[in-house]
Amino acid sequence: MAAPTRGPNFGHLLKTGQYSDLTLVCGGKEFNVHKMVVCSQSEVLATAIREPFQESKTGTISVEEFDAVTVDKMLEFLYTGDYGSLTAPGSLVGQVGETDEPLASPAAVEQDDLLQHVRLNSIADYYDIKPLAELSKAKLRLASQNTLNEPVLLNVAQEALNRTGDTTLHTMLAEAIGTNIRKFLETKQLAEIVGGFGVEILRTVVARQGELQRKMIELQFQLARLRVVEKRSAQIVENINSCMRTLGERRECRNSSCRADFECYIEQRGQPYEPLWTVCQRARVSAVANYNTRAGLG
């Protein structure tokens, strides 16, 4: 994940040390840098070279809180606006502490890469370099999303809690672990981070969550069945309504050879969703109408 370059790229000056006027010393390695580049982006470094601090006279700042690789990556960011992975060509990892040990496993390489983002976040917090802090979090978020190794992510979380005070980074790692908390509960490492009591709380929450999920699935199944019943009931009501309308519109049998009159009719009452049907005597209605006519009332 690359970040937009912050202004001109001074990477060549970092490599050559040309025109440098300040030296950072870390783990026996010297970094020849330029005040204009590093101090303009870090008020902490800018303050360190002012009077009455000794660094203002010697032009040398000793970095003891971080390793040389982390300092190298911080400077790479200050000069280019980005920093590469530990396995990138030209990385200081290949220059510092070279050994004849066999190549690290993929899990170890993945862990080192994640830990480096945490350390970059820590040094950014220490030297008050906010853009580097944001970039390191963005890189860590992306890398942690692809991490399937539980011990690796827990090691990174432990490192973050020990090294950086950036609570937003802590929250991000907590969310990454919480997404698959059931697997992490099976590890001993989680108890080392949150304590045994914290693990018991998480187990209780996870068990309760599982119970609620089962109930939700059961309710969804019941709702689906009720919707089927509702649909069938609506169709039955419509079929009966259609039949009632047909009966109400006829006064005699549909059989042409049958001349019998229907002596009743069906009247619909109630609501559309809960209809009521009443059988009424047609003869009585006709008699009342005839009486009204003879009496001059109708």
pLDDT digits (tens, 9 = 90+) for 181-222: 888 888 888 888 888 888 898 889 888 988 888 999 999 999
Q: Are residues 17 and 133 in the same domain?
A: yes
Residue 1 within any structural domain of the chain = no
For position 87, what pLDDT does the model report?
60
Burial of 29 (0-12, 13-18, 19+ CB in 10 A): middle
**Which domain range does residue 266 map to?**
201-251+261-294
Q: Are residues 21 and 141 in the same domain?
A: yes
Residue 5 within any structural domain of the chain = no
Q: Give the HSE-up count for residue 147: Cα atoms under 13 Å, Cβ half-sphere.
A: 30
Structure tokens given for 271: 């609501």
- The structure's pTM equals 0.63
Residues 6 or more apart in contact with residue 169 via CB below 8 angstroms: 118, 121, 136, 137, 140, 160
CATH value at residue 65: 3.30.710.10
Q: Are 118 and 164 in contact (CB under 8 A)?
A: yes
Q: Are residues 205 and 142 in the same domain?
A: no
Q: pLDDT category, 146, cuts 50, 70, 90?
A: confident
Count of domains forming the chain = 2
Structure tokens given for 59: 């032009």
At 119, which amino acid appears?
R
Residue 191 within any structural domain of the chain = no
pLDDT by residue (tens digit) across 250-271?
Answer: 666 666 677 666 666 666 677 7
Q: Are residues 223 and 133 in the same domain?
A: no
Residue 221 within any structural domain of the chain = yes
Q: Are residues 126 and 239 in the same domain?
A: no
Q: Are 36 and 42 in contact (CB under 8 A)?
A: no
Q: Are residues 15 and 142 in the same domain?
A: yes
Residue 288 within any structural domain of the chain = yes
- Pairwise CA distance, residues 73 & 79, whole Å: 10
- Pairwise CA distance, residues 129 & 39, whole Å: 10
- Pairwise CA distance, residues 221 & 217, whole Å: 6
Displacement of CA 266 from its chain's centroid (Å): 61
Residue 166 within any structural domain of the chain = no
Q: Are residues 220 and 141 in the same domain?
A: no
Residue 157 within any structural domain of the chain = no
In terms of residues, how long is the chain?
298
